[in-house]
Amino acid sequence: MNIDLFSNYFPSARSAAAIGASCLTLGACLTLGSSPAVASVLFSDSTFALSNYSVVANPNDTESFTYQQCASCGDPGQALSITQAYNGTGPTMSGGALFLNNTFNYDPATQGAIGSIAVSVNKLLAINYAGTFTSTFKLVIQQGGNDYVDSISAPSLTFGAGGGSSGWTSIAATGLVASNFTLFNPATFTSGTGNPNFGGGAMTFGLLSLGTWSGVSSTTSISVAFDNLAIDINPVPEPASLGLFGFGLGALAWLRRRAGGRVVLAA
């Protein structure tokens, strides 16, 4: 029996049955593919206007910590500029601040559960004394009144006498999932236990600048700058509709019965 006869009864069956037969022939019935339920969402900031940010300073600072939106220190143009300086209280100094961008909002309940997150940022680190230093970028998610942080490492830096600068370097990571993020307490600037819920609960994104420095002196100065922040939210893929595929299989079964066990697909 020819499929054209079947299509006289069901005009849409020709393509459906053909798809089903092709799938069976290729052994690809289970790999029809997936398509995102919703599009990915990209947050980006290349100016760091402080009016977009809520800032929480480290209450345990043992240094002078200041920040501003600089006019021309970025890569290029404007950027978030942070200066940390010795305040004379000991051989080490630490400090930082949490910056939440009030426009970086995502709700998995309405925009789709998050499958993964990709992030990139340009960072500059300048230090005026010798040593080997670790450079990181800390991505923040605030959800349900809690903050969660993932620390992304860059290659360490070694400066000789008088210190040096990293220049603008890119720090990036892909495939971040909920377990990459750890509960962070902004009241004490310490880590706890817990992860965000990528399947529900509105989120706000930002960054954390936090550092501890040893071997410091009264002349110690550290400058950090961030620019070109990009956070890409990738929703969980959902299976593409299998309705047409199922109909195609049904059509093939119907044809097989009508043809006495043999189906011929006409080109």
Q: How far is it, in rounded angstroms, from Cα 261 to Cα 255? A: 8
53 and 26, same structural domain? Answer: no
Nearest-Å Rg of the Cα atoms of the chain is 28
For every residue of 100-118, which 3-state class applies, written as one string?
EEEEEEECHHHHCCEEEEE
Question: Do residues 132 and 181 both lie within one domain?
Answer: yes
104 lies in the same domain as 29: no
Q: pTM for this structure?
A: 0.76
Residues 250, 151, single domain; the answer is no
What sign does the dihedral 5-6-11-17 (CA atoms) show?
Answer: negative
Query: What pLDDT is stored for residue 10 in this prediction?
Result: 42
Please check whether residue 94 lies inside any domain of the structure: yes
Residue 136, domain CATH: 2.60.120
Q: Are 163 and 78 within one domain?
A: yes
Q: How far is the C-alpha of 69 from the C-alpha of 48, rounded, in Å?
A: 6
Could you give the CA distance from residue 67 to residue 99 in angstroms, rounded to a whole number? 11
Does residue 118 sit in the same domain as residue 26? no
CA–CA dist 152, 123 (Å, integer): 12
82 plus 58 within the same structural domain: yes
Domain range for residue 250? 3-33+240-258
Task: Indicate whether 187 belongs to any domain.
Answer: yes
**Residue 267: inside a domain, yes or no?**
no
State the DSSP code for 214. E
One pLDDT digit (tens) per residue for the chain, 267 residues: 444 443 444 444 444 444 444 444 434 444 444 444 468 999 999 999 999 999 999 988 888 899 999 999 999 999 999 998 887 777 788 889 999 999 999 999 999 999 999 999 999 999 998 999 999 999 999 999 999 999 999 999 999 999 999 999 999 999 999 999 999 999 999 999 999 999 999 999 999 998 888 878 878 889 999 999 999 999 998 765 444 455 555 655 655 666 665 544 444
Is 265 inside any structural domain? Answer: no
Does a structural domain hold residue 210? yes
According to DSSP, residue 189 is labeled T
Q: What pLDDT does residue 91 have? A: 78
pLDDT at 36: 42
| Residue 141 buriedness (CB in 10 A; 0-12 / 13-18 / 19+) | buried
Q: Is residue 263 part of a domain?
A: no
Q: Are 251 and 10 in contact (CB under 8 A)?
A: yes
- Mapping DSSP to helix (H, G, I), strand (E, B) and coil, where does residue 124 land? strand
The whole-angstrom separation of Cα 180 and Cα 198 is 11
Looking at the fold, whether 93 and 9 belong to one and the same domain comes out as no
User: Residue 259, SS3?
Assistant: coil
> How many Cβ atoms from other residues are within 10 Å of residue 198's Cβ?
23
Q: Are residues 202 and 247 in the same domain?
A: no
Q: Judge if 188 and 128 occupy the same domain.
A: yes
CA distance 6 to 10: 6
Query: With contact defined as beta carbons under 8 Å apart, do 65 and 97 qualify?
Result: yes
My answer on whether 106 and 143 are in the same domain is yes
Task: Determine which helix (DSSP H) or strand (DSSP E) holds 6, and give its type and residue range.
Answer: helix 3-9
Position 229 scores a pLDDT of 98
Residue 175: its H or E element: strand 169-176
Q: Is residue 266 part of a domain?
A: no
Q: Are residues 59 and 169 in the same domain?
A: yes
> What's the domain count of the chain?
2
